[in-house]
Structure 1
Amino acid sequence: MGIDYPMTRPSVVTAASVLLYVFAGFGLLGGLLLLTAGVAASGLATVVTLLLVGFSVLYIVLATKILGGSNGARITAIVLLSISIALNVIDFDEGSLVSIGLGLLVIGLLAWNRDAQAYFR
């Protein structure tokens, strides 16, 4: 009988979490730019800005939980990124390409990588 050592975190999980932090940073930067540009003066723009900042904070929390090995955070991040990709495809512009690319990369790292799957078991 051997001693069960905790599995070390695979580098792909760390990379996915860092990309989630980058994704959140873009959202916070976008929300800050909307607020400082005065675009968020109307009611709908204010709601959109608050949602953008709220989801960015949620991505930061998810990235932190993923680093800790939370499978629930991994699944939640995959679902939210899938929704984000779908919305960016529907309303496609130049900025959507970065969001779609980052989202697909993080989903690929968390969902389809064998090391990541083993880490979250």
Structure 2
Amino acid sequence: QQQPELQLKFAYIAERESSSSHQYNSNQTKALCYYCSDPEHFIADCKKRRKETEIKVKLEIEIIETKVNLMTEITETDLEKEAKKDEQPEISENTIFEERKDEEKNQIINRLEAKVQYLEENFEKI
């Protein structure tokens, strides 16, 4: 006789807990983005976060590419200078033209260094 009584109480408790837990869960499932505080989506779906992340990645790639280009140009310039040291210098119209080329290369290197510095400073701010 005690066994059916326990079953009825257990069934009643189980029914009551499920209804109250359902109400509690329905209030807790509202979306809230912790990145932009928008209550309509979660952080995984945040368009603002995705866009800012893409901008950071693009800036990082541009910095790396600029550094690689700069190192390549410096290396090529150094190799050319070493090759010129081995040669006997000739004074001609071409010598003046080559000096101008060296000046242009130095200007390009200076511009690339300035660009790298600018990108690094702005990348840290984002």
Smaller-chain TM-score bracket: 0.3 to 0.5
TM-score (norm 2): 0.38
- Identify the structure with bigger relative contact order (alpha carbons < 8 Å, sequence gap 6+): 1
Task: Tell me the TM-score normalised to structure 1 length.
Answer: 0.39
Q: Whose Rg is larger?
A: 2
